[in-house]
Structure 1
Amino acid sequence: MEETRKEMVTREEVMFFDTDCGGVVHNLAYLRMIETCRTRLAAKLGMELRDMAESQVFPVLTRTEVDYRRPAKLGDWLEIRGWLGKVSAARFWCEFEMRRESDGELLVTAKQALALVKMPEGKPMRLNFKD
């Protein structure tokens, strides 16, 4: 079957440091997990970490939208699926779904808007993703 979108799937186990005193994952932990998935997705799209460091062109987060649907809990294994959504000349969106592996329950959906910026000038760049 032909792949219709660039996608990355990562897995995370909910650790003690990801939870509050009730054993429920706190919002910052979800964002860290999304960040890991987005970083790996960026590499798949041609934005390797080392290349960005050399070129000084970085994807800069400009907006995050998160819907928390169900809580994850201590010990859960989560699947984070991220893909490239809408792309314009200067900005792109990454979309995410986070599910509990044991039952497939949808826990979190998120969208993030990013722009490529040349540093140290802070100059926005036009997008040019690898296919």
Structure 2
Amino acid sequence: MMREIQEYRHKVQYYETDQMGIVHHSNYIRWFEEARTDLLEQMGMGYDRMEALGIGSPVLGVEADYLRMVHFGDIVSIQTRMKEYNGIKLTLEYEVTDEKTGMVHCRGLTKHCFLNEKGRPVSLKKDYPDIHALFVEMMEQGKQKPE
């Protein structure tokens, strides 16, 4: 049984904001990557381990819905959930929440695939069953959480 995954926390830095002290929209995409990296590390399958095995996971697509502004000095929590996984492709969902108010400020998703060192698609299910089992377990764990 996998341990409880902790949300990723981020304190907004000055350089992430514009002259009005509001976070520039591009930074949410960076936060998604930080949260994704953190999730994989908590699963025991960080990018360093995947790359050592010759597995890459490029981003195929990104979506972000900006609901409210985030400001310099705010602390946000980013919950990351697996939405879809089939052994070859992965879709993750993100929810950026203000820690003080509990209000959701941004929702988004990223789509990924798995490639070998030659840039060819990899089936984790077939080629890396132990890694596939981790992703399946995380997918199942995400389905049990209330939305």
TM range (shorter): 0.7 to 0.9
Q: Unmatched 5+ residue regions in structure 1? A: none
Partner Cα separation in structure 1 for residue 43 and residue 35 of structure 2: 12
Query: What's the TM-score once normalised by structure 1's chain length?
Result: 0.87
In terms of fraction of residues, the more strand-rich structure is 1
Partner Cα separation in structure 1 for residue 40 and residue 57 of structure 2: 9
Q: Which residue pairs with 2:31 in the alignment?
A: 33
Secondary structure of the equivalent of 2:92?
Answer: strand
Q: Unmatched 5+ residue regions in structure 2? A: 125-131, 138-147
Q: Which amino acid aligns with 1:17?
A: Y
Q: Which residue pairs with 1:124 in the alignment?
A: 121
| 8 Å contact kept, 1:61–1:114 | yes
Query: What's the TM-score once normalised by structure 2's chain length?
Result: 0.79
In the comparison of the two structures, how many residue pairs are matched? 127
| 8 Å contact kept, 1:25–1:74 | yes
Q: Cα distance, 1:7 vs. partner?
A: 4.6
1:74-89 residue pairs with structure 2 within 5 A? Answer: 74-89=72-87
Identity across aligned pairs (percent)?
24
| 8 Å contact kept, 1:8–1:82 | no
In terms of fraction of residues, the more helix-rich structure is 2
Larger relative contact order, structure 1 or 2 (CA cutoff 8 Å, min sep 6): 1
For the aligned residue pairs, the C-alpha RMSD in angstroms reads 1.9
